[in-house]
Amino acid sequence: MQVALVMGSISDWPHVKATAQLLDQLHVSYSKRVISAHRMPKQLQSFGSKAKSEHYQLIIAAAGGAAHLPGMLAANTPLPVIGVPVQTKALGGMDSLLSMVQMPSGIPVATVAIGNAGAKNAALLAAQIIGLHDSDVEKQLINYRQNQTKEAIKSNENLK
């Protein structure tokens, strides 16, 4: 597996599904699991400390509310961690975003946007990182971007 796709709870899956679908499209292999930073601290530490030896190249971690999952995973692994803030009812995801983006110096979490755009961008960022050493993934990413350009140009024609 290239990517560990980790959620704080099963209720995060509908938000993370776009990440998984785009990883599939880009030919990036992944496993998915639920690890709660607050309810499963021992499992989180164990997973984080073993992720590299289990041949993951990076971790995408999605969480909402007091979203400590990405930061706690980052504290327990040398692998890059991409944080996906899940939109919450209480604060619209700002709580999740700030929990991830305001990491203290020394423990970075690459944080993407709140919601669906962030879920997709996490997959794209993962593909960019993996594509540095995997030509198939790099080709898939290039094709994806070329298709985006074609769609944008085609949409311009609809304005005439």
Question: What does pLDDT average to in each consecutive run of 10 residues of the chain (160 residues)?
Answer: 94 95 97 96 97 97 92 97 94 93 94 96 98 97 96 84
Annotated binding site for substrate: 9, 12, 39
- Model pLDDT, residue 65: 86
Chain-centre distance for alpha carbon 73 = 12
DSSP for 80-130, written as a single string: -EEEEEPP-TTTTTHHHHHHHHTPPTTS--EE--SSHHHHHHHHHHHHHHH
- Residue boundaries of the structural domains of the chain: 3-158
Annotated binding site: 9, 12, 39
Residue showing tokens 């991409």: 82
Which CATH class for the 3-158 domain?
alpha beta
* Token pair belonging to 158: 């609809």
What's the whole-model pTM score?
0.94
Taking residue 160's Cβ as centre, other Cβ atoms within 10 Å add up to 4
